[in-house]
Amino acid sequence: MKTSKLLIFCSLFTFSVAMVMFAYLVYASKGLSYLSTDPKACINCHVMHTQYATWQHSSHAQRATCVECHLPTDSIVNKYKAKARDGWNHSVAFTLNTFAHRIEISEDAANRVQANCISCHARLTETIIANRDGYHDFSGTPLVDRKCWECHRDVPHGKARGLASTPNNLGVREL
């Protein structure tokens, strides 16, 4: 009987310690902020400060958040699926320091951003899509599947493309 009570006590104690450690991990990593649409959630990791700082000074800062550009907007399920997948990939890369100094968007994320550009700028893109056979690279080859940022390279993150691009950005300031 004593062994059984000791085993229950040890199990409860271990479970309690694990829950406290988990709660502290969520608190320390600002984990709940990732459930929001606040752009500051994207700078919980210091490696995103350049992207945040350049976005702050763009025309998109007043009109679109990180989530509205980088995540699916068609359904909440797709949004949180992409958010979970990207969050996992980012946390692994940042924790293990396996990311490049010039962070590049994945193909899946690029397709999401492209879809969101087209969605937000629907009136303009309807005209462009209707006339897309006229777009070419001056060699006669039509470029049907161009990404918006092939021409609009500095939108919305400016010319900054690496961690050293904004060396005086020692934290994020409120504008």
- CA distance linking residue 60 with residue 157, whole number of Å: 9
- pLDDT-based confidence at 15, cuts 50/70/90? very high
Whether residues 9 and 45 share a domain: the answer is no
- pLDDT-based confidence at 56, cuts 50/70/90? confident
Residue bearing the bigger pLDDT, 17 or 66? 17
- CA distance linking residue 17 with residue 112, whole number of Å: 40
Average pLDDT for residues 83-90, to the nearest whole number?
87
Contacts of 134 (CB under 8 A, 6+ apart): none
Short-list 169, 155, 85, CA closest to 117: 155
Whether residues 46 and 21 share a domain: the answer is no
Whether residues 50 and 2 share a domain: the answer is no
Angle at 161 between CA 31 and CA 138, to 5 degrees: 130
Average pLDDT for residues 101-122, to the nearest whole number?
87
pTM of the model: 0.72
- pLDDT-based confidence at 134, cuts 50/70/90? low
The range of the structural domain enclosing residue 28 comes to: 1-35
CB neighbourhood size of 168 (10 A): 5
Whether residues 143 and 71 share a domain: the answer is yes
Residue bearing the bigger pLDDT, 13 or 165? 13
